[in-house]
Structure 1
Amino acid sequence: MCEVEAKGFCDLNISANDNDLKPVVLKALSLGYQTIAINREISEPESSSNEKKKKKKGDSGLQVPSPPTLKLTEDELKKHKIKRPPVILTRLTVAYADKGSAFLHKLRDSGALTKYDIIAFRPRSEGAFRQVCQANMDVDIISFDIGDRDFRISRKMLNLAIERDLYFEICYAPCIARSSSRQDTIVLAHDIYQSARGRNIFISSGTKVTTHLRQPYDVANLGRLFGLSEGAAKEAVLTTCHDLVYAAWCRRVGLNKCSAVVVNLENSRGQTTKFKGLDDPRNCLKRKRSVNDEGDPGESNGFMIVD
């Protein structure tokens, strides 16, 4: 059972603004969203040749903010006519450009990634983009910034990311906030959709103000503008987000690093057991019991999960 399960419509990118965070979250919930991810962002520090001071031993110079905390009372939910219990998640977005930088190693060693429910990387160079898609990194989302992207989104790289169960984000807030960003956002969305062939794409707001939020069905209509089909546009704020949250949970607990192995074990009479239909993988997937076909719990059918 998943520890955190997404429900209803989702907005997995509400930018954390400690002063006005609660009104934005309450507004999103009142619009019909049930699962919210509060996002904090960090960027790779710019290296300067003039700043080569010696640091104290054990000082990595990396400061990762703690996950945001938000508590909503029952009175606040009733005031905004929110009847369903919300699911509040935390997200960390990491923006970087230098794939060979020690920034990622320091970030991984700091243990900060384990404190967040969802991890997103925002590559700012082609080398960083290839690293996120190919390398075995603790990441759930690949996000793109229309202002920093100066590389081509490769279909081959996105296919590698899809094989690793990564998801691609399209933020609609830039379209609403600035008319100059509207065309760039649409072009980016079309590139992602064509390269990923509509797979693992979700839409979020990426905003920190209430005026840029839109209802889920309005966002689905925006998905049509972004090039998504009618079904994919609705899934981009619903089921795809549910799959993303589940994949992120599997990454945190390590289930994505496990594999199923079929072995033959000896029964109580010293004989090797193998139930009928073991050679057919479809039967193996349907088999969930830990007993043999005759129902004898002392004779295992030989299924186990190993790392």
Structure 2
Amino acid sequence: MLNSRPFYDLCIQDSYFNKDNFQKNLKALYNYGYKTIAINQSIDDSDVEPKKKKKKGEPREPQDAVPVPFDLTKIEELVNKLEFGGFTILNRLTVSFASLDTLYKITKSPNFKKYHIVAAAPTTPQALTHTCSTFEADIFTFNPENKFNLRLNRKLYNQLIDRGYHFELQYAPAILDSTKRKNLIHAANLFHLFGKSKNIIISSGADNVNYLRGPYDIINLGLIFGLSELQCKTAITHCAKKTVINSVGRRHGKAVMFVENVEKSPEETKRDSYMEMIEDSDDDITVVDQPKSKKTKT
């Protein structure tokens, strides 16, 4: 079972953890106050397109289009070494798709099921409709390089909420470029118009420590997205936690039960053996009716 604590950043790009500044970047996240992060990898239609046929004798490329999840072993070892208590790292996959055929190939990949969190980024009306009705994911997101032109409405927004989706706004692109900032503000306004900014999460989307901000800076930064102070705080705490919990339900089923063998303590073992001894001795006891004694008159 996943144990997660606030604050949350559910979109740290995999390039953020490069070999040169690996430890420095991890410390930056912890010092800012983040306790649960998700390392993001992205895939789109171009990654799933069939390759040209190889000539005879040439080695074949692997058929799995979904990348192997980022190896968390080194990060977890470093977390234990630095004694970062309660620090949780997750794998996230962002699927940007226009064709349902592409999505089918992605969801059937063995690597797809290895990710903790899945984000959907539909780019066509058909893909949007399929996301709202069928595609099982945790986050609804979009690429801020392009304006959000999908015809989202109140019905589709509420449909996504009912299916456990959360709507993501990334602040690092807004810091990096003015065009991306306008696109994010436009999307945030649509989320407010159609759903009153329900189920909003704020992630960094950072691939560099320079674009990372602390949780309390995000609360102020979220004001440009039209969010209240309470909504900003909820976006990096309560709603983000719900996203992680919903991801567990999506992967394991809506009713989750974890069964674990627990070793008995010496006291419990001694007590059980004593009770068994009493039960065995009870089998050997026979009760004989005794004649009633007559009362004598005095």
State the shift of 1:256 in Å: 6.2
Q: Deviation per CA, 1:187-239: give whole Å up to 9, x if none.
A: 11121232222211100000110000001011111122211122111000011
Q: What is the correspondence of 1:1-307 to structure 2 with a 5 Å cutoff?
A: 3-17=1-15, 19-20=18-19, 22-45=23-46, 53=53, 61-68=63-70, 69=72, 70-73=75-78, 77=82, 84-99=85-100, 101=101, 103-135=102-134, 137-148=135-146, 149-255=148-254
Mapped to 2, the partners of 1:74 and 1:255 lie a distance apart of: 31
**What secondary structure sits across from 1:207 in the alignment?**
coil
**How far off its partner does 1:138 sit?**
2.4
When normalised by structure 2's length, the TM-score is 0.75
Cα distance in 2 for residues equivalent to 1:6 and 1:140: 16
Contact between 2:139 and 2:168, CA under 8 Å: does it hold in 1? Answer: yes
Would the aligned equivalents of 2:5 and 2:86 in 1 still touch at CA under 8 Å?
no
* Mapped contact 1:142–1:168 kept (Cα < 8 A): yes
Q: Which moved more, 1:207-216 or 1:249-258?
A: 249-258
Q: Counterparts of 2:55 and 2:187 in 1: how far apart (Å)?
A: 41
Question: How far apart are residue 23 of structure 1 and its match?
Answer: 3.6
Q: Per residue, is there more helix in 1 or in 2? A: 2
Q: Percent identity?
A: 34
1:54-89 Cα shifts (integer Å, max 9, x gaps): 999x998442111112334358636xxx5x431111
Contact 1:120-1:143 at 8 Å conserved across structures: yes
Q: Relative to 1, partners in 2 of residues 1:222 and 1:107: Cα closer, same or farther, differing over 3 Å?
A: same
Q: Determine if contact 2:95/2:119 at 8 Å carries over to the other structure.
A: yes
Distance across 1 between alignment mates of 2:55 and 2:243: 39
1:8-58 deviation line (CA, Å, top 9, x unaligned): 110000000152555433311211111111111111127889x774999x9
SS of 1:255 mapped into structure 2: coil
Q: How many residues align?
A: 247
> 1:5·1:245 contact (CA, 8 Å) conserved in 2?
no
Q: Are the counterparts in 1 of residues 138 and 165 from structure 2 also a CA contact under 8 Å?
A: yes
d(CA) in 2 for partners of 1:55, 1:121: 36
Structure 2, unaligned runs of 5 or more: 258-298
- Compute the RMSD of aligned alpha carbons: 2.8
Q: Is the 8 A contact 2:145 2:179 kept in 1?
A: no
Contact 2:69 2:111 in 1 (8 A): no
- For the Cα contact (< 8 Å) 2:79–2:87, is it kept in 1? no
Unaligned runs of 5+ in 1: 259-307
Contact 1:202–1:240 at 8 Å: present in 2 too? yes
Q: For residues 8 and 24 of structure 1, what CA distance do their matches in structure 2 show? A: 18
Preserved CA contact (<8 Å) 2:173 2:180:
yes
CA apart distance, 1:155: 1.9
After TM superposition, give the deviation of residue 116 of structure 1 in Å: 0.8
The two structures have a TM-score, normalised by structure 1, of 0.72
Q: Distance in 2 between matches of 1:12 and 1:48?
A: 28
Return the alpha-carbon distance in structure 1 between the equivalents of residues 104 and 140 of structure 2. 18
Alpha carbons of 1:74 and 1:234: their partners in 2 closer, same or farther (altered >3 Å)? closer
Structure 1 residues 25 and 122, CA, compared in 2 at 3 Å: closer, same or farther?
A: farther
Q: Distance in 2 between matches of 1:227 and 1:162?
A: 20
Aligned equivalents of 1:117, 1:134: Cα separation in 2: 21
CA distance in 1, matches of 2:54, 2:128: 31
Give the residue type in structure 2 aligned to 1:71: E
What are the Cα deviations for residues 146-200 of structure 1, in whole angstroms up to 9, with x where unaligned?
Answer: 2343323222111111111111100001111112322221111121232222211
C-alpha separation between the residues in 1 aligned to 2:126 and 2:136?
Answer: 17
- Is contact 2:38–2:91 with CA below 8 Å preserved after alignment? yes
